[in-house]
Amino acid sequence: MRYCKNFLQSLVYLIPIVKAASPSEAQILQFDNVGYLGTYRHVGSFEDIYSDECSCSLVEEPVSFSGVNSPLDQELSVHFRGPLSLSKFAYYVSSDFSIESEDNEDWSRLAYYDAEEGLAENVTFLTTAGRNSSCLGRALTYADSDGLSEADSPTILDADTVLDSEQEFSIFSNVSCEDSGVNNDCGVYRDGIPAYHGYYGATKMFLFEFTMPQESTVERDSVYNWDMPAIWLLNAHIPRTSQYSLNANCSCWRSGCGEFDIFEVKNYTSSEVNKLYTTIHDYQGTDDIETGLQINGYFDRDTSGIMRGGVIFDNDGSIVTFMSNSTSFDSSLTGSSISSLISNLDTDVTTALASVGESSSGSTDSSESSSRDSSASKMTGIGSLIFSVLTFLLF
Ligand SMILES: *[C@@H]1O[C@H](CO)[C@@H](O)[C@H](O)[C@H]1NC(C)=O
Ligand SMILES: *[C@@H]1O[C@H](CO)[C@@H](O)[C@H](O)[C@H]1NC(C)=O
Ligand SMILES: *[C@@H]1O[C@H](CO)[C@@H](O)[C@H](O)[C@H]1NC(C)=O
Ligand SMILES: *[C@@H]1O[C@H](CO)[C@@H](O)[C@H](O)[C@H]1NC(C)=O
Ligand SMILES: *[C@@H]1O[C@H](CO)[C@@H](O)[C@H](O)[C@H]1NC(C)=O
Ligand SMILES: *[C@@H]1O[C@H](CO)[C@@H](O)[C@H](O)[C@H]1NC(C)=O
C-alpha cells in the first residue's frame, strides 16, 4: 500500500513540470530553506492620528535580518478570525530541533491557554476595540471574556467563546513592553495600547485545539471575510502600530517584516470554504507580498469536529504546519514524540523557498511526497542550490 502510494505520488510530482497541479489534501505542509538576507523598516512616528490628515513615517534606517527562518525568527503575535472557537493554545521553544533529524532536543512550553481549565499562562488576550483612527484603524485593547469587547485589564476568555465571521482577537505574551521609542525593546507603538512582547525564537512551535464551525448567524454580504476563519502569526510590531492600514508607512508589514498564515480559509466558494491553506508573506522568492507564497496543498476544515495541530519552526529553516488529533499540550514534549507525530502523518506537500540575497527575488520549487526523504525533496534542494549559485553569480 505504502509503496504503491509513494509510486503514485511520484507521478503526481512529475505533473507540475508540465502544468501546475491543483492543491491536494495533506496532513503536513512544509516550507524548506526559510530565511534570507533582507531588510524591512519600522514605524518611526505617527502624526495627527485622530484627524483626516493622519499619517505615519518609517524610520530612515532599515533593519537588516538574516539567518534561519528570518524574518519569522523575530517575535510573533498570534491571531484568530472567526468562525472559530479556541480551546487550547501552547507555545514552545527547543534548543535544537530539526524535522529531518531523529535525534532532537525536547520542547519546553513557555505559554499555555486552556479554556476548560480557565488557565492563561504567559498569554494576554487583546482585540481591536479601541478608538478608531483614519490611518491606523481601531486601537488594540485588552479583550474582555467575549474576545471582542474592551476590558480594563488582562482577562481570560469564556470557555464557550465563539468568534463569528470577521471577528478577531490576538494573543501576546504577558511580558510588557518598555515605553514606545525607536531604540526601546518594542520600538515605536501606538499611544495608549496595552503593549506586550510577542513570542520569541528562531526555533519555536505553536499548538492549537480549536473548532471552525460553518457560519450560521452573520449574513454573507455584511462582512468581507464571510465564513473564512484563520489562525496566523504576525511580526509583533505590526499589530502594535496598525494591523490593517492602507498606508504602507503605518506598519512594517509592507516592507517585509513578516506574516505566516498557519490555517486560513481563503474563499467562501463551496469548493474552497473547507480548505485551510498555509502562506508566507515576506520577500523571499517573491515580489508580491500581498499574495505571498502559498503551499500547493491544504488541510480539510472539519466544521463539526475539534481540530488539533500547529506549526513548527525548526533550526534548519523548515516551517511545518500539521493537523493531527495526536497533538498533545504537555508542559514538556520530547523531541522524539514530536518527530514521530510528524513522521506518522501521511501526506505532505513541500515548497522550498528560493535562496535570495538582499532585494532580489526568485521562484520556488514545489514537490509532493508521502515520505520525509523522498527524491522529490532532494530535487528541490538541488534546485535551490542552483538558484543560490545563480544569485551569487548575479551579485
Ligand atoms: C506571566 O506568566 C507566567 C506564567 O504563567 C507567570 O508566572 C507570571 O507571573 C506572569 N507575569 C505577569 C507579569 O503576569
Ligand atoms: C475607522 O475610520 C475609517 C476612516 O475614518 C472608516 O473607513 C472605518 O470604517 C472606521 N472603522 C470603524 C470600525 O469604525
Ligand atoms: C513568556 O513568553 C515570552 C515571549 O516569548 C518569554 O520571553 C518569556 O520567557 C515567557 N515567560 C515565561 C514565564 O515562560
Ligand atoms: C511613506 O513615506 C515616504 C517617505 O519615506 C513618502 O514618500 C510616501 O509618500 C509615504 N506614503 C504614504 C502613503 O504616506
Ligand atoms: C473567491 O472566488 C471567486 C470566484 O473565483 C472570486 O470572484 C472572488 O474574488 C474570490 N474571493 C476572495 C475573497 O478571494
Ligand atoms: C479528532 O478528534 C475530534 C474529537 O476530539 C473529532 O471530532 C474529530 O473528528 C477527529 N478528527 C479526525 C481527523 O480524526
306 Cβ inside 6 Å of ligand 6: yes
To the nearest 5 percent, what fractions of the chain are helix, strand and coil? 15, 35, 55
List the residue whose alpha carbon is closest to atom 10 of ligand 3. 110
List the residue whose alpha carbon is closest to atom 2 of ligand 3. 173
Burial class for 377, CB neighbours closer than 10 Å (0-12, 13-18, 19+): buried
Give 295 Cα–ligand 6 centroid separation in angstroms: 24
Q: Which residues of the chain have pLDDT under 50?
A: 1-19, 358-395
> What residues line ligand 5, using a CB cutoff of 6 Å?
267, 269
Q: Which ligand is the nearest neighbour of the Cα of 227?
A: 5
**Cell 512582547 identifies what position?**
197
Q: What is the DSSP letter of 82?
A: B
124 Cβ inside 6 Å of ligand 1: no
pLDDT of residue 150: 98
pLDDT digits (tens, 9 = 90+) for 13-43: 443 444 467 899 999 999 999 999 999 999 9
Q: Which ligand is the nearest neighbour of the Cα of 242?
A: 2
Give 368 Cα–ligand 1 centroid separation in angstroms: 42
20 Cβ inside 6 Å of ligand 6: no
Q: Are 128 and 141 in contact (CB under 8 A)?
A: yes
pLDDT of residue 21: 77
d(CA 7, CA 50): 61
Helices (H), the chain: 2-18, 237-241, 335-343, 375-394
223 Cβ inside 6 Å of ligand 3: no
pLDDT of residue 360: 39
Mutate to test the pocket of ligand 4, among 46, 246, 249, 253 (most ligand atoms within 8 A of CB): 249
Full-model pTM? 0.89
Give 395 Cα–ligand 3 centroid separation in angstroms: 40
Q: Which ligand is the nearest neighbour of the Cα of 250?
A: 4
121 Cβ inside 6 Å of ligand 1: yes
Q: 320-359: buried (b, 16+ CB within 10 Å) or exposed (e) per residue?
A: bbbbbeebebeeebebebbbebbeebebbbbbbbbbbbee
pLDDT of residue 56: 98
List the residue whose alpha carbon is closest to atom 3 of ligand 6. 306
Pairing mode, if any, of strands 297-300 and 307-313? unpaired
Give 109 Cα–ligand 3 centroid separation in angstroms: 9
Q: Which ligand is the nearest neighbour of the Cα of 113?
A: 1
d(CA 50, CA 366): 46
pLDDT of residue 356: 66
DSSP string, 33-48: S---SEEE--EEEEE-
C-alpha cell at 20: 501546475
pLDDT of residue 357: 55
121 Cβ inside 6 Å of ligand 3: no
Enumerate the β-bridge partners of residue 312.
205, 320
